[in-house]
Amino acid sequence: MEITQRCPECGAEVQEGQTCQENFYQMLGWESEQPANWAVHHLTVLCYHLQHPSLYSPEGLRAGFTLLTDFLERGTTPTEVRKQRGAQVDSGARTWKIKGTPESHGTYDPPVVWSMTTNQVIAAGIDNYCDSVRAWASSMLISLKTSGYIPLQ
């Protein structure tokens, strides 16, 4: 009998050899294999990190909420974000850390219930990758709003 395990951060079912991190690496591989998949790289990295908040500092997590909202609701492109916020996130000027540490990292209390995780993106396959990542990002925005982490507009 196989025991179902769950990712301690996002709650996704974890199978042997199919952890969230392994799925993330597979997605990055798909971006390398098919350059058209690079179009959603910004969403892939952001979504993975938002679902695994310990990768971010508390401030980094809040910045991630803003990015997700900008990308999905305002249609801001990664290039526009770099132009608009480059000085704010420059490591030489920034007074806060993006990356989480064991002592200071992002968390969700109460936890967020995600309707989509890396598992569904991988299950949809490389040929549906861009659409799957966009659906993942949209589902995350809804989950974060429903949970109260991103204000409803």
Q: How big, in percent rounded to 5, are the helix, strand and coil portions of the chain? A: 60, 5, 35
Give pLDDT < 70 ranges for the chain. Answer: 1-3, 17, 86-91, 93, 153
Query: Which pLDDT tens digit goes with each residue over 90-134?
Result: 667 677 788 999 999 999 999 999 999 999 999 999 999 999 999
> How large is the angle between the packed helices 58-73 and 41-51, nearest 10 degrees?
140
Contacts of residue 147, defined as CB under 8 A and 6 or more positions apart, other chains included, come to: 108, 110, 112, 113
pTM over 0.85: yes
